[in-house]
Structure formats: structure tokens, C-alpha cells
Amino acid sequence: MKNITLAEKLIMLSGAALFALMIAVNSFCVNDNPGFRVPMTTYLIVMIALFFLDTIIFIFIQMLYASDRSRFSLFILSLAFLSGLVYFIETIIVIQIPEHAGFTQAAKTNDTAVFYFFRQLSFIVLLALAVRVGKITRRSPLRFRNKISMTLALMMTLVMFPMLAHYLSSYHPAWTLTIAAYEDEHHYPVWDIRYVNVLILLWSALLCYMISVTRLASGIWN
């Protein structure tokens, strides 16, 4: 009989936990009490699924890094997935807040857009940093100056970005950043095209940078 590896056990356990959690969320969402009915049910389930997926990816990359400490770029790559967990938690909390508590559908729509925008920014910055570190460490060990700049970049992305996203959400109305509006007539969100273009531009720049640096043959993808 084939032995089941630890990774396969983790995948099966995570899948079972995710399935059970989805069932629980679905049961909660069909509550007949309108005051506690969770809006945006489908989006909520997707956020929970992505939360577990990012967690699993983070753990696996950390296990890979633990087997080879010289590949520090893998550690930063794992942080790219870890950074998204904060925004997923924020989004899940916002979605579950009942509307009678003061959070309108428009506010929830904008908050999910704000957290999504900063989640993308965090992932882009950390992925670019991982590629940069991988390029540097291929030639020589990290110097003290590189470590200082890398630490500042990590602190900004892992600490400052989530704090900024929180303060620019509906939790602080005076500082709210408006990225998306909710159309009551058609019942769907409408993004400000400027923020969409910013994300497209950043992802395009990152893609060009990755191709120019790694030639798609870097060990970070192996």
C-alpha cells in the first residue's frame, strides 16, 4: 500500500476543513433573521477559500525554505502569500457585519475593493522583492545595506500597507478612500477605472521585470 506523505495529509485535512467551513458559512447565510443575514454570500465563500489556499501555499513554501536556507527569496515569496491573509480577514469581517450596524451595502462594496487593492499592492511588492533578492543571492550573499533596505521594504508591506488599508476603509469615514461604488439600480459594484489601470500597470511592470531578471528560469519557480 502506498504511504501517504505529510504534504498529502495536509492537503486532505485542509480540504476537509474547508468543506466543513463552507457548509457552516452556507448554513449561517441562509438564516431567516434579516438583521443577521450575511450579504455577498458568494464573495464571502470565495474569500474563505482563498484564505485557506494562501495559508496552505505559505506553509508549503516555508517547508521548502526550511530544507534550503540559502534560498532566502523563497522566504520572501512565502510572505507574499502571508500578507494576503490580513486582507482576507478584514474582508470577511466587513462582509459579515449586518447592515443595521451602520455598514451599508455601498460601504461594504468599497471596503472590499480597498482591501483587494492593497492586497494586490502587497503581493506585487513582495513578489518583486523576492525576484530581486533571488538575483542578488545568485551572485553573492546579501550585504548589510541590502538587508536594511529589504527589512524596510518588508516592514512597509507587511505592517504599513494593512494599517493604511484599514484606516482608508469605512472604519474611519473621514479618511475613506473611494475605489468602488455600488449601483442600487443594477445591484453591482462599479470600480473607479483609475485604480484598475494602476493595478494593470503595476502587474505589467512586474511581469516585464520578472522576465528581464529571471528569463523564466529562476530557481524560485522550481
Count of residues in the chain:
222
Q: How many CB atoms lie within 10 A of CB 220?
A: 18
Q: Is 119 helix (H, G, I), strand (E, B) or coil?
A: helix
- Read off the pTM: 0.73
**How far is it, in rounded angstroms, from Cα 46 to Cα 49?**
5
Decide if pLDDT at 84 tops 50: yes
Read off the pLDDT band of 34 (50, 70, 90): very low
Q: Which three cell numbers stand for residue 14?
A: 485542509
Q: Of all helices (H) and strands (E), which one includes residue 181?
A: strand 180-183
User: What pLDDT, on the 0 to 100 scale, is given for residue 150?
Assistant: 79
- In this structure, what DSSP letter does residue 68 have? -
**How far is it, in rounded angstroms, from Cα 190 to Cα 42?**
18
Decide if pLDDT at 9 tops 60: no
Q: Is 182 exposed, middle or buried (0-12, 13-18, 19+ CB in 10 A)?
A: middle
- In this structure, what DSSP letter does residue 189 have? E
**How far is it, in rounded angstroms, from Cα 131 to Cα 133?**
6
CB neighbours of 167 closer than 8 A, spacing ≥ 6?
A: 175
Decide if pLDDT at 117 tops 90: yes
Decide if pLDDT at 35 tops 50: no
CB of 169 closer than 8 Å to CB of 114: yes
User: What pLDDT, on the 0 to 100 scale, is given for residue 141?
Assistant: 74
CB of 168 closer than 8 Å to CB of 176: yes
**How far is it, in rounded angstroms, from Cα 49 to Cα 175?**
30
User: What pLDDT, on the 0 to 100 scale, is given for residue 46?
Assistant: 80
Q: Which residue has the higher pLDDT, 129 or 69?
A: 129
Q: Which residue has the higher pLDDT, 56 or 26?
A: 56
Residues pairing with 201 in the sheet: none
Q: Which residue has the higher pLDDT, 188 or 107?
A: 107
Averaged over 69-85, what is the pLDDT?
86
Decide if pLDDT at 184 tops 70: no
CB of 31 closer than 8 Å to CB of 69: no
Specify which of 1-15, 43-57, 99-113 reaches the highest per-range mean pLDDT: 43-57
Averaged over 149-154, what is the pLDDT?
81
User: What pLDDT, on the 0 to 100 scale, is given for residue 30?
Assistant: 41
Averaged over 2-30, what is the pLDDT?
54
User: What pLDDT, on the 0 to 100 scale, is given for residue 138?
Assistant: 76
Phi, psi of 32 (to 5 degrees): -75, -10
